Amino acid sequence: MGSRIAAHFANAGVPALLLDIVLPEQPERNAAVIRGIENAARQRPPAYFTESAASLVTPGNFEDDLAQLQQCDWIVEAVSEDLEIKRQLIEKILPWRRADALFSTNTSGLPLARLAEVFPTEFRRHFFGAHFFNPPRYLHLLELIPGPETDPDILAFIAEFAALRLGKGVVPCKDTPNFIANRIGGFFSATVCRLMMEGDFAIEEADALTGPLIGAPRSATFRLLDIIGLDVWTQIGRNLHALVPNDPWRERFLPPDFQEQMVARGWLGDKAGQGFYKRTAKDKEVWALDWKALDYHPARKVEFLSLDGARKIQSLPERLRAIVHLRDRAGVFVWSLLCDLFLYAAGRVPEISDRVVEIDRAMRWGYGHQLGPFELWDALGFEETVERMRQEGRTIPACIEDMLRAGATSFYIPDDQDGEPQTAYFDLLGRRYALLQQRHGVIALPEIKRARGVLSGNVGASLVDLGDGALCLEFHGAEGVFGDDQIEALSHALEETERNYSALVLTAGGDGFCSGTDLARILRAAEQGEWDEIDAAIRRWQRVTLAVKYASQPVVAAPFRSTLGLGCEFALVAARIQAQAELAMGFTETSAGLIPAAGGCTELLFRFDDPHRVMEVVLGGRVSSSAAHARELGLLGPADGVSMNPERLTSDAKTAALALVPTWAPRIPGREIRAVGDSGYALLRLEAWLDNQAHRISDYDLHVAGKVAYVLSGGRLSAERQISEQYLLDLEREAFLSLCGQPKTQERIRHLLATGKTVKN
């Protein structure tokens, strides 16, 4: 875990000293720590944004390098979950720690008061818990736990630093066993296991019912435990059971017999090659555990016929309401799980948190759930759910009875004032609604739309007033695909900005900025020979790309995660990009047998002035693994910004856009660029042919490469000369149209739409 925390500091540009033990009989004194750094880099996905980020981590060991700790501002301890081991390490570090250096433990549940009680007062003032969730790069949550004497100013500093520099969602916790996320998340997983055994469900069935269907990640329950490690999870359960003697649900944390047997056999999950699931060595087929027989079988496709209709419901609250009203085994399973979760979470207030807010955030940010327990309760209908619990003879916690007597109908209510979004939560201790403080630098577009409405929009995008003269166009097409609705909305947004506003921000409301263009429509038109329709579509793409590029007011794109095809092209021509750190940006058109046609090739040629480099990015389908990697690829420029914290992306983009306004001068069309001509075309074709001969690209890839080379060379001009931007755009359109008519391109698109995977035909 320590190597992954160090990697995340390096991702944020913060140098880290990483110390580990000296392995016996190893000539390299830093062998253990070097192995940790290498393992973090080899993870899939890797712990580092880029390979070069690892250079910010300096390896060392506890015997030779403790003196280097004198240079450290924050010491993060992340050794085994053992009180004495942690204390012994702290004792070893104390003589070398600078008096003003902060010291945190990454414990997931050991009491901080017991850990720190034997150390000096000065140390205890600087000591706190900072529980990073694994992997730190991808899980947003940082639980911040005060020790009994921690200086409040230190906690405030760490909370701000972690939110801004490390991109974390910080949740303040009490010094209680397993804090918040693992206390509630552990109960959730234990309850899934119990219901699986009581209802005689298979492992695959339980995971099918506890993943995206109910707003949880694809790893669901047992796949997640394989990732965590069965030994770790079993120990967490045993420890928690011992530490919460007054918890009426504590028996649920004890691991069942079959799980104990799995640990005894070494079936610990991913790190052991098998756990609840394993892959066969021969064909990599996934097998699942039969928990009753303790053997494996090919993982079965799970089908609950009663859920077919519910799966089609896009709205999570509506989908959940439909599921819990089913009376079959699937519906009863989900209802029982959520009912127990609600009652347990409510019963932990104020033990683990005084507010429902922190419990919800911890589960969203630490376990990847779309909604926390109390948000889920609201989604199902608070009053209706309590009434059903009563009918089933369940005991309602006293705080919930008090809430009902106070006339509350939900845990959260909107409390917008004069167009400013505000939310109130029910304070279970005060028995009243309290205003939820707005977090500085966080703009939640759903709340903005609720408070101010939408200026205009269609099914593909919404135009929203961010205030201070800034507009925001939020794309929300199905599966992140851009089509006519997005193009129309963007054109209108540019016009509205020019008339009445100072700047425009482009972002999206889904799981990514843009997954590409509407390939289904392109395929349909190509199969029917509707070439004029495709030609008109490309012209619309190019017109709006140019409109963004030469806008009279600054346009800032705020891409995150998938930013492909049209989305990448729109971002590249914006005045600035404010990217989220997790950015998968690039061109994947060639995997569909096509090339970028909304100005992607043209813009890259302007940026690089090197057709060979553009060819590598476009033909290679290079997609960044992070914003830092996108910068290495040249897709982000030196003036473009990066937001580590995804919640701050829209706010950071707004700030960047407004900062451009005072000195903004629109770019002037008409710039020309050097085209390498026929000789350059020949060299580009030769490079592609060599890749083909080396079996790096297929024969049809070679054909597509020829089209890219044709565009980048200026259409095989007889000699090198300057050409206009529109000339290049026309070449892109011509090449795209010609490829649409190719059977192999249509085959690629068809396969991609049907399977989500590419085919190298």
Q: Please give the structure tokens belonging to residue 120.
A: 């000096």
CATH 1.10.10.60 fits 446-587+623-669, yes or no: no
Each residue of 389-422: pLDDT tens digit? Answer: 999 999 999 999 999 999 999 999 999 999 999 9
The answer, yes or no, to whether residue 477 has pLDDT greater than 90, is no
Q: Which residues contact 447 (CB under 8 A, 6 or more apart)?
A: 414, 421, 423
CB burial string 228-260: b at 16+ within 10 A, e below: bbbbbbbebbebbbebbeebeeeebbbbbeebe
Q: Where do runs of H (alpha helix) occur along 43-79?
A: none
Whole-number pLDDT of residue 235: 86
Each residue of 493-527: pLDDT tens digit? Answer: 999 999 999 999 999 998 899 999 999 999 999 99
Three-state SS at 595: coil
> CA 705 to CA 410: how far, in whole Å?
58
- For the chain, what are the domain ranges? 2-172, 181-405, 446-587+623-669, 671-761
Q: Are strands 423-427 and 641-643 parallel, antiparallel or unpaired?
A: unpaired
CATH T-level fold of 2-172: Rossmann fold (3.40.50)
Each residue of 142-154: pLDDT tens digit? Answer: 999 999 999 999 9
Q: Where do runs of H (alpha helix) occur along 636-698?
A: 649-660, 677-693
> CA 437 to CA 68: how far, in whole Å?
41
The answer, yes or no, to whether residue 280 has pLDDT greater than 90, is no
CATH architecture of 181-405: Orthogonal Bundle (1.10)
Q: Where do runs of H (alpha helix) occur along 117-202?
A: 121-125, 152-164, 181-199
Three-state SS at 693: helix
How large is the C-alpha radius of gyration of the chain? 28
Crossing angle (nearest 10°) for helices 743-755 and 725-740? 80
558 to 97, 352, 459, 555: CA distances (angstroms): 41, 36, 20, 10
**Max avg pLDDT among 202-216, 233-247, 293-307:** 202-216
The per-residue pLDDT of the chain, averaged, comes to 94
3-state helix, strand, coil in the chain (%, to 5): 50, 15, 35
345 to 117, 350, 376, 381: CA distances (angstroms): 30, 10, 11, 16
> Can you tell me which residue has the tokens 């712990």?
47
The answer, yes or no, to whether residue 36 has pLDDT greater than 80, is yes
pTM reported for the whole predicted model = 0.93
C-alpha triplet 121, 62, 150: angle, nearest 5°: 20
Residue 236: pLDDT band with limits 50, 70, 90 = confident
Q: Residue 451 phi/psi, 5° resolution? A: -80, -35
> CA 562 to CA 550: how far, in whole Å?
25
**Burial (Cβ within 10 Å: 0-12, 13-18, ≥19) of residue 152:** exposed
DSSP conformation letters of 262-288 = HHHHT--BGGGTBSSEEE-TTT--EEE
Whole-number pLDDT of residue 407: 96
H/E stretch holding 191 reads helix 181-199
Q: Residue 326 phi/psi, 5° resolution? A: -75, 140
Each residue of 647-705: pLDDT tens digit? Answer: 999 999 999 999 999 999 999 998 899 999 999 999 999 999 999 999 999 999 999 99
CA-nearest of 758, 713, 750 to 735 is 713
Q: Is the peptide bond before 95 cis (omega within 30 degrees of 0)?
A: no
Each residue of 483-493: pLDDT tens digit? Answer: 999 999 999 99
Q: Please give the structure tokens belonging to residue 324.
A: 């819990």
Asked if domains 2-172 and 181-405 share a fold, the reply is: no
